[in-house]
A and B are shown apart, each in its own frame.
Chain A
Amino acid sequence: MADASWIAHLLWLLPVLPLAAAAGVTVSPPSRRRRAAAATIGAQAVAFLIASALFLVVLKSSGGGDEIVRQTFNFTWFNFGSSSLELGLLLDPLNAPMLVMVTFVGLLICIYSVAYMSNDANFVRFFAFLSLFSAAMLGLLVANNLLLLFICWELVGLASYLLIGFWAHKPSAVAAAKKAFITTRIGDLGFFLGMIWLYAEAGTLQFYAGGAGILEQSTLTQLAAGITIGGMALATAISLLLFCGAAGKSGQFPFHVWLPDAMEGPTPVSALIHAATMVAAGVFLVARVFPLFAATAGPDLVSTALTTVTWIGAFTAVFAAAIAVAQTDIKRILAYSTVSQLGFMMLALGVGGVAAAIVHLIAHAFFKALLFLGAGSVIHGCGDEQDIRKMGSVRRFMPITFATYAIGMMALSGFPFFFSGFWSKEEILHVVHGWPQSPVPFYLALAGTALTAFYMTRQMRFVFFGNSRAETAAKPHESPRIMTVPLAVLAAAAVLLGIFATPAWPWFHRFITGGTATVDFGRLFTAGTLGLMFLSILLVGAGVGTAWVVYRRLPGSASAPDPLERRLPRLYRALADRLYIDELYNATLIPLHGAAGRAADGLDRFVWNGMVAALTRIILLLSALSQITDRRLFNQGFDSGCEILRRSGGRVSGAHNRNIQARLVYIGSGMVLLFILFAWI
């Protein structure tokens, strides 16, 4: 143990390496494309190696008993007064596989981007942003402190903003970037408030700090016992606030609107950030602070926070899957699929299945990254065409893409037995089935499963089968190897991961929850498991079958109506218009904000400004008065005095002139006066 534990001390390198790469690439000139790509990929590769080593360390250390082994590295950031702000890094079975997943997917996507972005003028900047994102995401994962997590959380949001708006020449990209940033900010406000409240109550934001952390028993008991507004437990209230942030980041209803628009960014970004890693951060957050969510005053009580998470997750899963059915943009379908799958994860968390959620998260990260990169390959091959109605028969031109995409699609849809998605989804269904409060989330999850199969089959039919409906004459072509290799690797991962997640050998789940996994194929055949598996396979089959039948005959041209639209026009339109959520926001929240803004503006302008203006008027009046007194009274007094002096001086000096005759007149008059004076006397 001790001999390998030094590797754990490399934990800090994980975020720092990509950060250094980001800094280096940022200051390098735009012409240094190879160096920028090399720096980013190199940092990512080293981070991947470290993460793998750390994973092995955790694996080894947790090999023993049922206890979860955590390694924390706490340090003091700064002191203020008598208190100090502690930060810390954490390595535990929860984040170790996430670290591996993020670095692995990140590495593949960086490699893929080299080809995908090769024609972009801002290639270097793109890699700087990718590195920044990677650093922030890894920092988020290794944080042992809610504040540090929040900082990285916001940095991730910033990177997301920068990358969605990367093609800033497109107004839609700029709008999408703003929408993403602002929508997640609304959720983050809840996160922030919850964090402050938590700090006020607990006095620390460390997760684990030798018994004093916020996720440890003493604090949790205190928080669960505290009662706040409406009889809610403190822990519940804070958890709900934190969940706002998680829902915003993970695109849960009602914050889901930004995620489909985020597809305006480059496809590797969509794959990395808006499918595999960042959007999973919300799920990770809930999983990380799960003890806080689950904290109740008594063992029999149900946590309101978790119930909320369950319902939101279940609703989002079905809701987004339904919308995905009627989308025509290849990336938007995947985006709604992501929202739906994140809903599944939230659902699993809500019913207590942390392990199920994380397993699904990681499995999803692989196959959704695969799907996005596959979609990117298709888009690239079809000449930047994203509308599936204008594709078709791509299978014939891009065989590798087709094969890997099919694997991803089957993993997502939950094709039985050989795909990770099947097993991870089975596990979620299993835990949801066992939720004592209500059977409805279970049914919603089943509906979501069927819908997922349906929309993925539809997409496959449209893109890869049938006749080409492309409007341009150019034939699609297979992508270069630097793009297909990551696809193949991800496809392999999507398949192989299933091995570790079957109920027969629930190694992954045990790894996360602690304990040892044993191989027991008997578990496959217990009544509940078998029944669920059967039901699930049935539903997937139904979804795929229905879609296959509905889309047996594809529309002949891009402008022809969708087959489903012909059958259920009204429903289809509603779904295609994303159930009018954006319109609802446009009609309600945005005018509300506008009105509030106008009200504040009016308050500012008329009330405060009026007061200030009135005050100004009074002061102006006073100064005008003093000006008048000054000018009219003092100034004019002095002026006229001076004027009198000057004029009399002028007069007197006029007498003292150069006129010799006038002087004689004075002399003469003086003489006369003198004479009169003498005669008088």
Chain B
Amino acid sequence: MITLESFLLVSALLFALGLAAVLTRRNAIMILIGIELMLSAANLNFVAFWRFGANPEALTGVLFVLFSIAVAAAEAAVGLALIIMIYRHYRSINPLKFNVLNG
């Protein structure tokens, strides 16, 4: 039997891997990938809770994920545009070098 816990654990693993990518990779694109993964994990959680939730007829989880995917798409578009701009400016996408605004 596939339980809620299984999905939650998969989602947690997905989230942890995304977090690891954000924390360890020295590449802005990889960080963006990590963020997308973490977002996907959250979406998976929403869907899983909706599926095993008390009132599936309200379709709240599905609708939320729908909006979330739209926001994630917009976020990816803007983030990648930013990365392109940064790359043009610095000739690098190493986040350690983006420190002009750093105190």
Contacts and interface: CB of A to CB of B under 8 A. Distances in A.
Interface string B64-103: 0000000000000000000000000000000110110010
Interface stretch (B4-12, B19-27, B46-54, B55-63): B19-27
Contacts of A660: 95-96, 98
Nearest to B20: A668
Contacts of A661: 22-24, 26, 31, 95-96
Contact of B96 (A659, A664, A665, A668): A659
A112 B91 CA distance: 108
Interface residues of B, number: 11
Contact of A664 (B23, B98, B102): B23
A665 B99 CA distance: 18
Q: A-side binding surface: helix, strand, loop or mixed?
A: helix
A658 interface: yes
B19 A668 contact: yes
B24 A658 contact: no
A658 B96 contact: yes
Nearest to A659: B96
A658 B24 CA distance: 15
Contacts of B96: 658-661
A553 B31 CA distance: 136
A664 B99 contact: no
Nearest to A661: B23
A179 B98 CA distance: 95
B23 A658 contact: no
Contacts of B102: 658
A658 B99 CA distance: 7
Contacts of B98: 660
A668 B34 CA distance: 15
Interface in B17-51: 19, 22-24, 26, 31
A668 B23 contact: yes
A270 to B, nearest CB: 101
Interface in A624-681: 658-661, 664-665, 668
Nearest to A660: B95
A659 B24 CA distance: 11
Interface of A: 658-661, 664-665, 668
Interface of B: 19, 22-24, 26, 31, 95-96, 98-99, 102
Q: Which 8 A-B pairs have the closest CB atoms?
A: A658-B102, A658-B99, A665-B23, A661-B23, A664-B23, A659-B96, A660-B95, A664-B22
7 contacts: A658-B96, A660-B95, A661-B22, A661-B23, A661-B26, A661-B96, A668-B23
Given A658-B99, A661-B23, 13 more contacts: A658-B96, A658-B102, A659-B96, A660-B95, A660-B96, A661-B26, A661-B31, A661-B95, A661-B96, A664-B22, A664-B23, A668-B19, A668-B23
